[in-house]
Structure 1
Amino acid sequence: MADDEEVSFGTFGLRVEGGVGLVVFERPPVNAFRVSTYEELLAVTEHIEGREDIRAVVLAGGSGSRCWCGGADINDFAEMDEAKRKERYGFVNAVIPRFARLELPVVAAISGHAIGIGVLLAAVCDIRIAADTAQFATPEVNYGLIAGSSRLLNSLGVPEGLVRELAYTGRRAGAAELHEAGFIDHVVPRGRVLEESLSLARAIAVKDRRVLASRKRVFVEHENLAWFDAYLLAQRESSLLVGSDAARRGVDRFLKGSRSSGAG
C-alpha cells in the first residue's frame, strides 16, 4: 500500500507517512461509541499490526466532532437490559485490551473532551498530549452505571482520592489538573495538539520496528508483574534482540562516537 494513501474503517481513517500511522476518529457530533464502533476500532488495530511500514501511531479526533471521544452512545442504553449490557461489555473487553496490546507506541492527540470510554481509550495509549481546553470525565454515575477504568488510572499514577472523586461526582477535570495528577503527559494549545503528537511520533518512528514492538510488549506485561519479574522479562526480550541488525548498528554507532569523542 502506498505511503500517504488513506484507508477507511468506517468511523476510523488511517493515513501513513514516514512510518507514522495517523488514525482519525470521526463520528459526529461527539465521537460516541456504539457496538459497531468497537468493531471498527478492532479492524484498524488488526490492520496496523499487520503493516511493517508503521512504527508509531497517533490517535486523533476528527475536526467535525466536538469531542476527542464523547463516551458511549447513550441512545444504545435506552432499552438495554442486563443481557444486552453484558453483550456490549463483551465487545469492550475484546477490543480495548486488543488495542492496548498493539505492538507499537501510540500517542493520543486529545484535542477535545474525553468522556467515559474516552478516558479509558486515552489511558491505554502510551503517551497523552491534550489541549489546554480538553476536559475528562467518568460520568457513568449520572446514568445509574459505574465506570470500570479506576484501577488503570491508578496504575498511571492518578491518586486514588481523585479517581474516586471523579467517579462519585461525575465532574469534569481539566487537562491541567490531570497533568498535575500524572495522567496527561503534555498540555498544549488546541491548535498544536496534532502537530506536537505527530512530531513525537516521528521521533519514535525512526527507531527499529522490531525493537519498538518488543519494548511495547514488555510495557504491557509489566502492568501485571511484580517489579523483579518485570525486570527479568525485559532481560529476556532484550537478549532476543542482541544479535539483530538494529542492535549491531546501535552498538557500532555508540562505539564510533565514543572513539571520536575520545580523540578530541
Structure 2
Amino acid sequence: MSAALQANEPPPPVLRGGEGAVAVLTLDRPASRNSLSRAMLAALSNELAAIAADDGVRAVVLAANGPAFSAGHDLKELTAHRADPDGGEAFFRECMAACAAVMQAVAGLPQPVVAAVEGIATAAGCQLVATCDLAVAGDTAKFATPGVDIGLFCSTPAVALSRAVARKPAMEMLLLGEMVPAEEARRIGLVNRVVPAGQAFAAAMDLAQRIASRSAVAVRMGKRAFNRQLGLPLPDAYEAAGAVMVENLLAEDAAEGIGAFIGKRQPVWRHR
C-alpha cells in the first residue's frame, strides 16, 4: 500500500500504550462518544488478543479520550443497516455477537483489567465497565442502561450488570434507564472507587501497577478460578477452587512467596 493511501486511512479507534508491565487501551473516538461501532469492537478484539499472548503484561487499564467513556452501540450505524434487504437482521446479529465476544475476551483475559471512567458510560459502555475486573470513576462520571427509553431494552448489558451488582439495583437501572452518579455506582458495586474528576486514570494506573507487582502466575490463576467458581454450585465451587489452590501451591512463586514470608524478607517473583 502506498504512503499516500496509508496517510488517508483513519487513525485506529483504540490506542495501545503502557508503562512497565501495565498495558493501557484507550478508546479514541471522542466525536462519537466512543461508541462501540464494529470498527471499535474489532480494534478492541485485536488488542485484547495481543495482550492475552503477551507474558510481559501483568495488568491492563481501559480508558477513553473525550467527555464520554462510551455511549454504547453506535445507533447511527445500526440504523443505517435498516435499509439492508433483511431489515438489518444479519448486521444486528453480527454486531451483538462481536460485542459479546469482546466482553468475554475482557472477562477471560489472563490479566486483570481496570476501567478508568470519566464522563458517561451508558448501555454497552456501562456493560464494558461492569465486565472489567475493577473500575475507578471520576466523581462526575455517570452510568446508565437507558435502552428502555428508546424501546430497546438493554438485554446484553444486563448480562454484565447482573454479575456486577445485586439483582434489584440492576433491575432498577434496566427498567428506569436513569443516570446513576458515581457515588451511587460505588455503593451498588458497579465501581470500586470514586476519585476527583480527572483523576480516574491515575487512580486506575495505581491499582494496575500494584496488581502488576504481584506474582503474575498467582494473579492469572486467581482471576480464572474466581470467574469459574461464580457459576458453580457450592460443593463444585470449592472443588474447583481447591484444585487451583493445589496448582498454585506447586508453582515456583508460591514457594518463593511463602518462604519470603517465613523468612521475613521481600519475595522475588519469577512469574512461574
Scaled by the length of structure 1, the TM-score of the pair is 0.88
CA distance in 1, matches of 2:238, 2:40: 37
Q: Any idea what SS the aligned residue of 2:54 has?
A: coil
Aligned residues: 247
CA distance in 2, matches of 1:128, 1:236: 29
Which residue of 2 is the match for residue 105 of structure 1?
Answer: 112
Bigger shift: residues 146-155 or 234-243 = 146-155
Query: Are 2:17 and 1:15 equivalent residues in the alignment?
Result: yes
Q: 1:47 aligns with which of 15, 39, 50?
A: 50
Letter in 1 for 2:261: F
CA distance in 2, matches of 1:256, 1:87: 55
Does the Cα contact within 8 Å between 1:61 and 1:112 map onto a contact in 2? no
Letter in 1 for 2:217: R
Which residue of 1 is the match for residue 270 of structure 2?
Answer: none
The Cα shift of 1:53 comes to 0.9
CA distance in 1, matches of 2:159, 2:39: 26
The Cα shift of 1:43 comes to 0.3
CA distance in 2, matches of 1:223, 1:12: 31
Q: Any idea what SS the aligned residue of 1:190 has?
A: coil
Does the Cα contact within 8 Å between 1:22 and 1:60 map onto a contact in 2? yes
Q: 1:197 aligns with which of 170, 194, 204?
A: 204
The Cα shift of 1:175 comes to 0.8
Which residue of 2 is the match for residue 33 of structure 1?
Answer: 36
Which residue of 2 is the match for residue 155 of structure 1?
Answer: 163
Which residue of 1 is the match for residue 151 of structure 2?
Answer: 144
Structure 1 stretches of 4+ moved >4 Å: none
Does the Cα contact within 8 Å between 1:45 and 1:102 map onto a contact in 2? yes
1:238/1:161 Cα in 2 relative to 1: closer, same or farther (>3 Å)? closer
CA distance in 1, matches of 2:126, 2:40: 16
Query: Are 2:81 and 1:68 equivalent residues in the alignment?
Result: no
Which residue of 2 is the match for residue 179 of structure 1?
Answer: 186
Does the Cα contact within 8 Å between 2:34 and 2:70 map onto a contact in 1? yes
Tell me the C-alpha RMSD between the 2 structures: 1.7
Deviations 1:110-153 (A, max 9, x none): 12210110111011111111111001111112222111233432
% identical aligned pairs: 29
Deviations 1:178-209 (A, max 9, x none): 11112221011112211111111111101122
CA distance in 1, matches of 2:168, 2:138: 24
Does the Cα contact within 8 Å between 2:67 and 2:118 map onto a contact in 1? no
CA distance in 1, matches of 2:134, 2:118: 14
Query: Are 2:61 and 1:58 equivalent residues in the alignment?
Result: yes
The Cα shift of 1:82 comes to 2.9
CA distance in 2, matches of 1:216, 1:132: 28
Bigger shift: residues 160-169 or 198-207 = 160-169
Letter in 2 for 1:199: D
Q: Any idea what SS the aligned residue of 1:128 has?
A: strand
Q: 2:92 aligns with which of 85, 99, 105?
A: 85
CA distance in 2, matches of 1:227, 1:140: 35
Q: Which runs of 5+ in 1 are unaligned?
A: 1-8, 259-264
CA distance in 2, matches of 1:182, 1:244: 32
Letter in 2 for 1:153: L
Q: Any idea what SS the aligned residue of 1:90 has?
A: helix
Deviations 1:196-235 (A, max 9, x none): 1111111110112222111111122122112332222121
Which residue of 2 is the match for residue 3 of structure 1?
Answer: none
Does the Cα contact within 8 Å between 1:16 and 1:54 map onto a contact in 2? no
Scaled by the length of structure 2, the TM-score of the pair is 0.85
